[in-house]
Amino acid sequence: MGTTAAARGPQPDDTGPTRHPTARRDGRPEPWRRTAAAAGLLAGGVPTPTVFEAMTALAARHGAVNLGQGSPDEDGPAWIRDRAAEAIRTGADRSNQYAPGLGLPVLRQAVSAHQRRHYGLELDPDRQVLVTTGATEGIAATLLALVGPGDEVVAFEPYYDSYAAMTALAGARFTAVPLRPPHFLPDPEALERALGPDTRMVVLNTPHNPTGVVPDPALLGRLVEVCVRHGVLILSDEVYEHLVYDGRHHPVSAVPGAWERTLTVSSAGKSFSLTGWKVGWVTGPAELVAAVRAVKQFLTYSTGPAYQSAIAEALSDGDVFLAGQRDRLRAARDRLLSGLGAAGLDPVVPAAGYFTVTDLSAVGLDDAAAATEALAARAGVVGIPVSALCTPGAGTGAHRLRSWMRWAFCKPMDTIEDAVRRLAALPTVSAD
């Protein structure tokens, strides 16, 4: 059986007192335990690796094609990598020393110019842009800066796992609103029902991981209206903004009424296939960005300047690469979708991003987490159970979507072809 800790929900002793050396005398869970439990990463009171690490190890053990982790196998353009290498080698502009806490001016200016060119948004690079160590640090700093004990954070589920984990670290309550098959579109009425007097922040993610859904401006407008009516802040995660294959990206902050309450996080990792560089940014009204900075400066203080200056050039000169990348990923998506279809599945057609999701019950597998070992061993493919991207436990998305699997297509075409050949064996796999 391949049940992962992330997918199996909390165990009775996950959050309670244990004899662990860090356990508190009053029995309250320590911050690390709250954080891990929120992501379903506690087993028997000890932290477990993320599902991404577990699935990568599983793929390696069986020599299976790894469509689990969302990182490309091919690095981004050589000309961007050369810029960073040169900056490190020459040390020009102090590129091996601490960068300013806000980020290099050249990158903040490039982010500002990028927002104007792509979306018509005007940002002051000195007050409305903050460079972070990946979008992940932007999310962490935003939640730690703006929510705390007694507050509630609401997000649509399934979701990128750091939202729940960082909300727990901040001491706030996390509430998930279901995205439902077959279309997985966020429902403004369901959002409205979830918001209460303690709700402080709503997290939106467009384009969406893992479904690839891109809400149109009308739907975004209705979601924002709900947030305005309830006076809540918005954290908008837009890391897949350049990987839209059908239609185009619409920034939440451009929706009428959104700007003054919205912090947007994005990063270069997905756009330029440089996920290891961890160069991201937070944009929004000056007062909100200053609040996030107050926390961010005590997390990493700043991000490697050689990477920052190279990404500044990428944002300014990278549109041709981005167009080609969209074409490559669209072709990979379409090939994987046809392979999944031929294997008897009915994949969701993602308008954007790195992933598609499928319901494995169509081939007799009702528990995707339990089926991972059999899929790796007998079919030779590995995905990520969607339940791992949901709040653990009964009655949550982890239960509703337990037969769903996420598959990554941010891979070279020969890897996708290999996966498609192996997926043909899917109907013969049954979980023991």
Ligand X SMILES: Cc1ncc(COP(=O)(O)O)c(C=O)c1O
Examine residue 158 and say whether the peptide bond preceding it is cis (omega within 30 degrees of 0). Answer: yes
The footprint of ligand X on this chain (CB under 6 A) covers a number of residues equal to 14
Span interacting with ligand X, options 180-188, 267-275, 313-321, 395-403, rule CB under 6 A: 267-275
Kindly indicate which of the ranges 114-122, 129-137, 249-257, 387-395 contains the residues binding ligand X, using the contact rule CB under 6 A. Answer: 129-137
- Residue in 99, 66, 23 with CA at minimum distance from that of residue 407: 66
For the bound state, the minimum distance from the C-beta of residue 284 to ligand X, rounded and expressed in Å, comes to 16
Compare residues 166 and 398 and give the one whose CB is closer to ligand X.
166
Rank residues 365 and 384 by Cβ distance to ligand X and give the closer one: 384
Three-state DSSP class for 173? strand
CB of 354 to ligand X, least distance (A): 7
Q: Which of residues 189-248 bind ligand X (CB under 6 A)?
A: 205, 209, 237, 239
Using CA atoms, how far apart are residues 121 and 142, in angstroms rounded to an integer?
21
Measured at the CA of 232, the angle between CA 119 and CA 38, to 5 degrees, comes to 100
If one asks whether residue 383 binds ligand X (CB under 6 A), the answer comes out as: no
Taking the C-alpha atoms of residue 149 and residue 402, their distance in angstroms, rounded to an integer, is 31
Residues 232, 224: Cα–Cα separation, whole Å: 10
Among 72, 280, 305, 397, binds ligand X (CB under 6 A): 280
CA distance 209 to 356: 9
Q: Angle at Cα 352 formed by Cα 316 and Cα 138, nearest 5°?
A: 60
Report in angstroms how near the CB of residue 161 gets to ligand X at its nearest.
9
Stretch that binds ligand X, among 18-26, 130-138, 168-176, 417-425 (CB under 6 A): 130-138
Instruction: Quickly list DSSP for 202-259.
Output: EEEESSPTTT-----HHHHHHHHHHHHHTT-EEEEE-TTTT-BSSS----GGGSTTTG
Residue closer to ligand X, measured from CB, 210 or 380: 210
Out of 199, 264, 267, 372, the only residue in the binding site for ligand X (CB under 6 A) is: 267
Nearer to ligand X, 15 or 236 (CB): 236
Round to whole Å and give the CA distance between 357 and 142: 29
Tell me if 135 contacts ligand X by CB under 6 A: yes
Q: Where are the alpha helices (DSSP H) in 98-160?
A: 105-119, 134-146
Query: Is 136 near ligand X (CB under 6 A)?
Result: yes
Count other Cβ atoms within 10 Å, centred on residue 196. 11
Q: Give the residue with the Cβ less far from ligand X, 212 or 280.
A: 280
Ranges within 102-121 binding ligand X (CB under 6 A): none
Identify which of residues 62 and 184 has a Cβ nearer to ligand X in the complex.
Answer: 184
- What are the residues binding ligand X (CB under 6 A)? 70, 134-136, 160, 205, 209, 237, 239, 267, 269, 275, 278, 280
